[in-house]
Chains A and B, each alone.
Chain A
Amino acid sequence: MSATAETVADVERLNEKYKYGFVTDIEAEYAPKGLSEDTVRFISAKKNEPEWLLEWRLEAYRRWLEMKEPDWGKLRYPPIDYEDAYYYSAPKSNENAPESLDDVDPELLRTYEKLGIPLREQEMLAGVKNIAVDVVFDSVSVATTFKKKLAEAGVIFSSISEAIQEHPELIRKYMGAVVPRDDNYFAALNSAVFTDGSFVYIPKGVKCPMELSTYFRINAENTGQFERTLIIAEEGSYVSYLEGCTAPMRDENQLHAAVVELVTHADAEIKYSTVQNWYPGDENGVGGIYNFVTKRALCAGDRSKVSWTQVETGSAITWKYPSCILQGDDSQGEFYSVAIANNMQQADTGTKMIHMGKRTRSRIISKGISAGKAQNSYRGLVKMLPTAEKARNYTQCDSLLIGDQCGAHTFPYIESQNRSARVEHEATTSKISEDQLFYCRQRGIGEEEAVALVVNGFCREVLQQLPMEFAVEAQKLVSISLEGSVG
């Protein structure tokens, strides 16, 4: 084989491993490189934002300048140069926001077709999926489907930029209410330069008639994605929401710092699922997304409930702790997590459950899988405040190691200030069993498929929490993420 043909074959093989690694060739508009008050003003002006929001952003930026990047995670990466990145990139064709999908750049529609995200409503209706999708490409939302149908139910589902224009009162009331703009270094950065994301509002007593989903795509080079999502569930309402993420394969590291805020009022429930498949970098740790995310839910009302489910397979670095503040009496928080780190990936992820209300309950099921030379840490806090009468927590952390060069770590923190509260913690660490693999292989199942089968079994408790439409895809993703981890 000639050298060129070999290279082509190599590239093709790589692409198979991370099939979302392509780049869309599209003309984009950027903010000037680097981060300053001017950048913040540029973004705010691009989005035609009200004055109060610009001030809010600027204040976040000033606080960020005084803050220090956290270094307590079990993560190692070279210093991030915040000046050497673009903080805003939008497809040019999107400049005059499209009225309908017919106005969306066909190149963009093709991108989503390639990614398997159906945007045309008739295509969706033809299939079995009953899901409304908001699509965020680099810094802007390019399309939201099924808005009319949702509006009939009183549900608002739009990009956050649009919500700022259309529902400023809700944004002003809730933005930063759960994650204050100076909550932490990355949240402050996001508050200053966030570009787009999704907004969901479910009115009182409404069960959202369909699954809602946002699909995040980083395309542009040297560009960070800073999305912000806000979901509000009024009294007695229910919504299930899913986000998915992919990015092209690039040699440089790209920054992703998101903030997600959820609020549930009395008797409301939000089920929030994530399938995070950002580009993880190559086998040698070149490239990949740095993923620093602050996700927090406030269970404000009595008997309200938030359930976080995450399948984290991508990113070079993951720093993420979806949390619940259980303020209402009898409110419930759940965290179901599968985190897979292969090759040179590093994940430091877990949750915080802050019990304030009486008889609040939380449940944490974490499954960490490490392969290659990866490091995978579970970090969690369960805090029982003095008011948390008879609160309960159950935590189970299981780690699975594939090979002998990877690491699994568990950092559980428990603080109880109420004697009637009960906290249970169970943890296991095991190596993938040679007995299990041999048993599968004796039945004719190849080694990689055997690993995928055993690992999927290990994660089952979590995967079955995902909406059905995504559970199968998540299983496949688990298999793909572990390719090359044995043999």
Chain B
Amino acid sequence: MLEINNLHVDIDGKQIINGLTLTVPAGEVHAVMGPNGSGKSTLSYTLAGRDGYEATDGTATLGGADLLGLDPEERAALGLFLAFQYPVEIPGVAGMTFVKTALNAVRTARGEGELSALDFLKLVRAHLKDLGIDEAMLKRPVNAGFSGGEKKRNEVLQMALLEPKFCILDETDSGLDIDALKIVADGVNRMRGPERGMLVITHYQRLLDYIKPDKVHVLAKGRIVKTGGPELALELEEKGYGDVLAGLAA
């Protein structure tokens, strides 16, 4: 599914990702954990194709298709979804307009054609109901004045609507209290399936109590330095990143 091989990324001349290799097969959820400054956000931005986050070396493919040469919207059309750590406010653009524009753009790119207004509304309402979100949220401008919990729920709603093949969750737990975290995790867990892969990027183990990963990778200094099962996350929580980093230095 997602295959990253020897990825290198420079930001303003500084090497942030430094030979990262990682494979997430379809149907699996992998967690990437790492201390601040280890390159977690750079990894998610590079995979999603943000301007200024270009790979200098290595490859990244999704379902065999090369990601790195594509525009962000082309990657989205291939089925890549990034749930943002800090979802962006778009004043004046109603949530409903935004998700409709996005869904139709992705459907058009996939050759599925736009949905009629009625079919779209039915689909949105079904997802809102599943996720327990009030339709009023979509009448407000995108993320404008939203609480942290509302923003993350909006991300999960979009994820459900766009039916991506692969989801990257970038520090989805940041800014959430425990109740909001459960709701968001529940939404993410509904998306798990044999055809879909997920990469959960997080600093804390807490999120992984609710989204159980198949594998845990430790990211440090721009590379995966350790891989293990869910127990690795617990170990990190208990001992901190110090041991792993110390092992690196040695």
Contact A445 B92 (CB under 8 A): no
Contact B51 A438 (CB under 8 A): yes
Residues in A neighbouring B51, C-beta threshold 8 A: 434, 438
When chains A and B are docked, how far (Å) is the Cα of A257 from the Cα of B115? 46
When chains A and B are docked, how far (Å) is the Cα of A177 from the Cα of B49? 60
Which of A443, A444, A445 is most buried by chain B, counting CB atoms within 10 A of its CB? A444
Given contacts A435-B88, A439-B87, A453-B101, contact A445 B73 (CB under 8 A): yes
Partner of A456 from the list B48, B77, B88, B92 (CB cut-off 8 Å) is: B92
Chain B: interface residue total (CB-CB under 8 A): 31
Interface of A is mostly: helix
Chain A proximity mask over B101-118: 1 for CB below 8 Å, otherwise 0 = 111011001000000000
Interface residues of B in 40-89 (CB under 8 A from A): 48-51, 71-73, 75-77, 81-82, 84, 87-89
Q: Is A461 an interface residue (CB 8 A)?
A: yes
Q: Is B232 an interface residue (CB 8 A)?
A: no
Contact A444 B105 (CB under 8 A): yes
Q: Which residue of A lies closest to B110 (CB)?
A: A444
Instruction: Give the Cβ gap from B53 to chain A, nearest Cβ, in Å.
Output: 10
Which of A433, A439, A443, A456 is most buried by chain B, counting CB atoms within 10 A of its CB? A443
Interface residues of A in 399-450 (CB under 8 A from B): 433-436, 438-447, 449
Contact B90 A443 (CB under 8 A): no
Contact A443 B162 (CB under 8 A): yes
Q: Which residue of B lies closest to A458 (CB)?
A: B92
Partner of A441 from the list B72, B87, B92 (CB cut-off 8 Å) is: B72
Instruction: Give the Cβ gap from B149 to chain A, nearest Cβ, in Å.
Output: 18
How many contacting A-B pairs (Cβ < 8 A)? 79
Q: Is B91 an interface residue (CB 8 A)?
A: yes
Determine the interface band of chain A, counting residues with CB < 8 A from chain B. 20 to 34
Contact B98 A453 (CB under 8 A): yes
Interface residues of A in 324-377 (CB under 8 A from B): none
When chains A and B are docked, how far (Å) is the Cα of A446 from the Cα of B50? 13
Chain B proximity mask over A459-478: 1 for CB below 8 Å, otherwise 0 = 11100000000000000000
Q: Is A75 an interface residue (CB 8 A)?
A: no
Interface residues of B in 112-155 (CB under 8 A from A): 141
When chains A and B are docked, how far (Å) is the Cα of A444 from the Cα of B141? 19
Q: Is B172 an interface residue (CB 8 A)?
A: no
Contact B92 A444 (CB under 8 A): no
Residues in A neighbouring B236, C-beta threshold 8 A: none
Contact A458 B91 (CB under 8 A): yes
Q: Which residue of B lies closest to A460 (CB)?
A: B92
Partner of B73 from the list A433, A444, A453 (CB cut-off 8 Å) is: A444
Contact A444 B76 (CB under 8 A): yes
Contact A438 B50 (CB under 8 A): yes
Contact B48 A442 (CB under 8 A): yes
Residues in A neighbouring B109, C-beta threshold 8 A: 444
Instruction: Give the Cβ gap from B219 to chain A, nearest Cβ, in Å.
Output: 21
Contact B105 A446 (CB under 8 A): yes
Contact B71 A457 (CB under 8 A): no
Contact B93 A456 (CB under 8 A): yes
Instruction: Give the Cβ gap from A48 to chain B, nearest Cβ, in Å.
Output: 50
Q: Is A454 an interface residue (CB 8 A)?
A: yes
Given contacts A438-B72, A439-B87, contact A445 B93 (CB under 8 A): no
Chain B proximity mask over A11-38: 1 for CB below 8 Å, otherwise 0 = 0000000000000000000000000000
When chains A and B are docked, how far (Å) is the Cα of A457 from the Cα of B90? 7
Partner of A442 from the list B82, B91, B93 (CB cut-off 8 Å) is: B82
Q: Is B158 an interface residue (CB 8 A)?
A: yes
Given contacts A456-B92, A457-B92, contact A442 B76 (CB under 8 A): yes
Residues in A neighbouring B72, C-beta threshold 8 A: 438, 441-442
Contact A449 B101 (CB under 8 A): yes
Given contacts A442-B48, A444-B106, contact A457 B73 (CB under 8 A): no
Residues in A neighbouring B75, C-beta threshold 8 A: 442
- What would 6 A/B residue contacts be, using CB atoms closer than 8 Å? A438-B51, A443-B76, A443-B158, A444-B73, A444-B109, A445-B73
Nearest 7 pairs between A and B by C-beta?
Answer: A457-B92, A460-B92, A457-B93, A444-B106, A444-B76, A443-B102, A441-B72
Binding site for B on A (CB under 8 A): 433-436, 438-447, 449, 453-454, 456-461
